[in-house]
Amino acid sequence: MVANRAMNRERRLAGRDGYARVLGFDILGLPPGARWLDLCCGSGRALLDAAEVRPDLDITGVDLVGYFAAAGPVRLVTASITAWQPGGRYDLVTCVHGLHYVGDKLGALLRAVSWLDDGGVFVASFDVAGIQAPGGARRVLRALREAGFAYDSRSHRIRRAGPFHGSLPFRYLGADDRAGPNYTGQPAVHSYYSAL
């Protein structure tokens, strides 16, 4: 995993590049007492914004780089999303522009959706062009659809409702952190897989 110091550090909940716009999801519309996990949360400012308006939410943010804003009423954890283990299930799991910098992107997706509660939702920024596998993007997207994921190529958003504890037909081989910029214009990591 590679930390990008610029991409997601100060992102807020609302605004032109806010979570609601990027994810197409109104986090403030979660039911009372909902548990929200944000992966690659940057400074955690968006989480603090949400906690200010919705103090009833149970909010956890995880980021590889521990340059957090004041923690306040949210839990902020310094850890790799490929190794961290949660202490429970979540109603919402999000990741805004964080998967671009993860080596095993497909493994990270599977981990994230396994942490969903029944009826929970996972939504994240995702660039299928960052996955290098036999059969290309079409085969990767087909496997993801068969596992219950929905991908919007226009918004570069991936989503799944409900937990999933299965696997995908790929084996992670490694990553290239010098792949160059992706659709955001920021340097990204390409992930390499073989077919099973």
Give pLDDT, residue 130.
Answer: 97
Q: Give dist(CA 72, CA 123) in Å, integer.
A: 25
- Parallel, antiparallel, or unpaired for β 150-152 and 157-161? antiparallel
Query: Which segments of 57-189 are extended strands (E)?
Result: 58-63, 75-78, 90-95, 116-125, 131-132, 150-152, 157-161, 170-176
Any alpha helices (H) in the chain, and if so which ranges?
19-23, 45-53, 105-114, 136-146
Kindly report, residue by residue over 43-82, the tens digit of the pLDDT.
999 999 999 999 999 999 999 998 898 768 999 999 999 9
- Least confident segment among 4-8, 13-17, 143-147, 151-155: 4-8
Q: Give dist(CA 94, CA 25) in Å, integer.
A: 10
Give pLDDT, residue 40.
Answer: 95
Domains along the chain with CATH numbers: 24-128+148-165 (3.40.50.150)
Q: Which residues contact 13 (CB under 8 A, 6 or more apart)?
A: 19, 20, 27, 28, 45, 46, 47, 49, 50
Kindly report, residue by residue over 76-106, the tens digit of the pLDDT.
999 999 999 999 999 999 999 999 999 999 9
